Amino acid sequence: MKKLVFFIGVLLMAFDVYAQPAISAIGSWREHYNNHSVIDIAKGDKLYVASPHQIISIDANEKIDWIGKASGLQESNINRTFWDANQMQLIVTYINGAIDVIKGDRVIAINDIATTNLYASHQINDIYIYQNYALLSTDFGIVVLDLLKYEIKDTWFPNNSRQATKTYSIGIFNGVLFAATENGIASCLLKNNWISNGNWSNIDIMGGKEIQHIETSTNSIIGFSKSSLVNIANNKIIYTTYDGKINAATFNNTTLLLAVQYPSKKGAVISIDNNNISIVIDTNTLQIPKKLWQEQGKLWVADSALGLLQKNTSAQWLNLGGPLHKIGGEINTQENNLIAPFDNNEPGFALFNGEGWKNFTKIQNKELLTSHTALINPQDNSCWLGASDGLQHISQDAAIFEWIPAIVKGDIVSVQLDTKGVIWALQDNQGILKGKDKTWKLQAIPINFLHSGLRKMTLTQNGQAWIKAPNNQGIYVYQSSDILSTEMWKQITPIEGNLPSSNVTAMAETKEGSIWVGTDNGIAIFEAQDFSKTLIPAYLPKVKNNGFYGYLFQKETVNTIAVDDANRKWIGTNNGAWLLAEDLTAPDGFSIIQHFTKENSSLPSDTITQIVINHINGEVFFNTPQEMVSFRGTATQGTAHQSNMQIFPNPVPPNFNGLIAIKGLVENGIVKITNLSGQLVFQTRALGGQAIWNGKTYEGQPVSAGIYLVLVRDEAGTEKGVGKIMITNGF
């Protein structure tokens, strides 16, 4: 572990480590989003920066905190933010029309727009604060939100027919409300701080129908389209760009600042003051500037490609945490470290551990290639990255960065390590590369097997590589002679192997050596076996649902399978993530322990593409098309010999209503909790190396304050341990 920390420290990268929120109590979530895509800025008691999935707050000392679904937000597809200075609260809107108002440590959810059936589109395009109201420009009109009562007060339609009209943005100037709509600019006189329906007028403004944004100051009101900036008060064009696109405008006293995007990902900030035009930030710095904020000589730029730029006397990018790009490659974990290749034509990878995320795009000034898969070798803490036509190998001290070309051409799509320290690399169109001590050998796929489209591989304890066969051909298995006597290739199909479908989508090995195979029609389980002998077909597990047993995930696509240290199975589907445990009351039966969806958890999507587990602390990582989140699970890696146990929280604070974790236990140990008189209060079994207690007796009654003993032993009674828990005020 210490070597790997050193490895992180000495690699010369362009990106620094920035800690994510610390892992918290069992059952808690945290998010691991790419915050280099910044779409909005709001300035209030802090600077609030919005990425598509969470809000990042930055205080005066540049301390960063993250606000997402894990901390109370109801959604993850953010589109706008705005600060209400009157009530000292932040308004957050989402693509589906949902609204959150963050006031202190409260989050108030307002879903009237999102749930209405009156309009086809619920999108909120802009926010304007007027007195104690938020005037929301939506795809059907202007919604008036009361910021004191947190309720919808009215809906204004910017026309005299009360017809739904797409409204892009509004502004109030000299007692008149101006609205940029799909029909052009409309205006209405405010009387007693309200409008009178039927009093709308259309204004003939140059390029009026193209104007989608309005900005106001004390002395000015301007509108801008993609290419032009117009003074609405006198109908004069202030600025036109012929080769760019205006993404944002903001006033700084009498000066206008524009965020302009040019072709080929070139962006700039332009200043306009009394018709004097100057460049504040040039195209060598920005790519896609989206929003601007300036105060006290400091300029902030939200760039949806690069992140958040701060410019005072000089310009610098703030690291907002998370991977540099969306994770598209095969993720692997080793102890407390997670390595995630970007893939998707993005070179490099991200590394995550207790210090946070660090992103790698070059080493020793050498550009990394696009990687499809990655592995940390625990024997020397070096990194192996699978790329097109070969492997990239980085030693733990970064002294060695070598390119190992494959014997033949083909993408390396999976890299794994066997029990003897041999690297196995699945190569599309070819087979399996096996290497150790710089000696490599190709185990070519048989000529009668399909070669193109090899993707997923699971390496087993008995020296077999289970491979998802291309083009719905079931499974290919390569069996080495390292452990079993016969080296061979084997194809498994539904007819011969009892697969529920020929389209295999996921595979994982359990702790006892059986193989779980996911398909687009459920799961099959193969017992460990020697394929030189008669094939033992899979059996199809069942699950209890509403009192009846049915085949597990029948008619469901299983995208990924992971096995935790209690030998429970985490299943990722297009309908969320599931945790399964054996149901001892039924043969071949399993029960559902948890089912997470985007509705009941911090998941940003119900489609789970990969699940990986940190076996040291039990954290379960879920990768989705909307990026990655993690959940603090209950199972951790057990030990062969009982050592000092860790209990947290301990002492248990007053009014604590979470779970007490007892960690560092002998694997699957029997755990008894007694009072000081030896009376048994509760008994359970460790999930791998961790036991969970809710602070209650068998009967479900909260225990009283006092000191309780934790007694642990293994099945044979040879490994024993004793710990203490202090309950301060009882539950």
Q: Are 443 and 434 in contact (CB under 8 A)?
A: yes
The tokens describing 99, both together, are: 């609204």
* Residue positions counted in the chain: 731
Say if CB 540 and CB 533 are below 8 A apart: no
What sign does the CA torsion over 653, 656, 662, 663 have?
Answer: negative
464/457 Cα distance (integer angstroms): 10
Residue 700 in 3-state DSSP?
A: coil
Name the residue among 346, 397, 357 with its Cα closest to residue 16.
Answer: 357
> How far apart are alpha carbons 211 and 167 in whole angstroms?
11
Nearest to 307 by CA among 563, 18, 506: 18
Q: In the chain, what are the domain boundaries? A: 541-637, 646-727
- The CA-atom distances, in angstroms, between 28 and each of 179, 612, 618, 620 are 44, 17, 11, 11
Q: Which residues, other chains included, contact 90 with Cβ-Cβ below 8 Å and sequence gap of 6+?
A: 42, 44, 48, 55, 81, 82, 83, 84, 101, 102, 103
pTM for the full model?
0.91
Enumerate the β-bridge partners of residue 702.
696
Can you give the pLDDT at residue 20? Answer: 61
Tell me the C-alpha distance between 308 and 50, whole Å.
10
> Which H or E run includes 4?
helix 2-10
The amino acid that residue 188 corresponds to is: C
pLDDT digits (tens, 9 = 90+) for 316-364: 999 898 999 999 999 999 989 999 999 999 999 999 998 889 999 988 8
**How many Å apart are CA 1 and CA 664, to the nearest integer?**
17
**504 - beta bridge partners?**
519
For residue 714, what are the CA distances in angstroms to 458, 634, 668?
Answer: 31, 19, 7
- Beta-carbon contacts of 415 under 8 Å, excluding residues fewer than 6 positions away, are 330, 332, 373, 374, 375, 384, 385, 386, 391, 423, 424, 425, 426
DSSP letter string over 556-624? --EEEEEE-TTS-EEEEETTEEEEEEE-TTSTTEEEEEEEE-TTTSS-S-S---EEEE-TTT-EEEEEE
The residue among 9, 723, 652, 712 whose CA lies nearest residue 355 is 9
CA distance 236 to 292: 23
* Residue 596 near residue 543, CB atoms below 8 Å: no
DSSP category for residue 660: E
Supply the pLDDT for residue 18. 47
> Which regions of the chain are under pLDDT 70?
1-23, 547, 586-587, 730-731
Which residue bears the tokens 């779409």? 39
| Continuous segment of H or E residues that includes residue 376 | strand 373-377
In Å, what is the CA distance from 354 to each residue of 7, 25, 246, 333?
14, 15, 41, 13
Report pLDDT for 303.
95
Tokens (6 digits) for 367: 């550009």
- Can you tell me which residue has the tokens 């299983």? 558
Cα 517 from Cα 497, distance rounded (Å):
11
β partners of residue 612: 621
Residue 470, Cα to own-chain centre: how many angstroms? 29
Is residue 58 within a helix (H) or strand (E), and if so which, with residue range? Answer: strand 55-58
Yes or no: domain 646-727 corresponds to CATH 1.10.340.70: no
